[in-house]
């Protein structure tokens, strides 16, 4: 039967404290921890790392993401254009109905009608471009 013999090593205090903490987390004594780590270090580990994806796969995924980003930016731009167009139409319609109105009249009209226009826009875009959660918070798709 093999007999156990002591082995000593001099390490920095910080290193020993770190080893002690790790050993405690693993439910081991310091001696058991050092012995297990030395044995693990003596095993033949290969340093080769297998990539998750090939370069071609990464390139393809990157291109798909760029395409998706471009499409999302274009959709955002279209929504902004629609919003500007509808605001422009509201101003033109108001001026047609109220010739000679002032800037303040137009601004007041926009402020007074904003809630109904907002509701209209949200109703039209809900489901296609926007979603609303159970708390009434809105998000883009």
Backbone dihedral region for residue 85 (phi beyond 0: left; psi -120 to 50: alpha; all else: beta): alpha
The domains of the chain are located at 13-42, 75-140
Instruction: Give the pLDDT confidence score for residue 130 in this predicted structure.
Output: 80
Instruction: Give the pLDDT confidence score for residue 73 in this predicted structure.
Output: 92
Query: 73-91: per-residue pLDDT in tens?
Result: 998 888 877 776 677 888 8
Record the pTM: 0.38
Higher per-residue confidence, 37 vs 86? 37
Q: If we measure between CA atoms, which residue out of 92, 130, 2 comes closest to residue 141?
A: 130
Instruction: Express as a percent the part of the chain with pLDDT over 90.
Output: 43
Query: 126-139: per-residue pLDDT in tens?
Result: 777 788 888 888 88
């Amino acid at each position: 039967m093999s007999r156990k013999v002591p082995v000593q090593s001099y390490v920095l205090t910080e290193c020993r404290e770190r080893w002690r903490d790790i050993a405690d987390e693993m439910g081991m004594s310091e001696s058991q921890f050092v012995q297990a780590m030395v044995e693990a270090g003596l095993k033949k580990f290969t340093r080769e790392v297998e990539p998750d994806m090939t370069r071609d796969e990464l390139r393809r995924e990157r291109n798909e993401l760029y395409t998706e980003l471009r499409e999302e930016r274009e959709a955002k731009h279209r929504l902004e254009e629609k919003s500007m167009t509808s605001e422009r139409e509201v101003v033109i319609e108001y001026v047609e109905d109220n010739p000679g109105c002032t800037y303040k009249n137009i601004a007041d009209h926009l402020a007074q009608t904003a809630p109904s226009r907002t509701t209209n826009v949200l109703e039209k875009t809900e489901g296609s471009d926007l979603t609303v959660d159970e708390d009434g918070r809105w998000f883009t798709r």
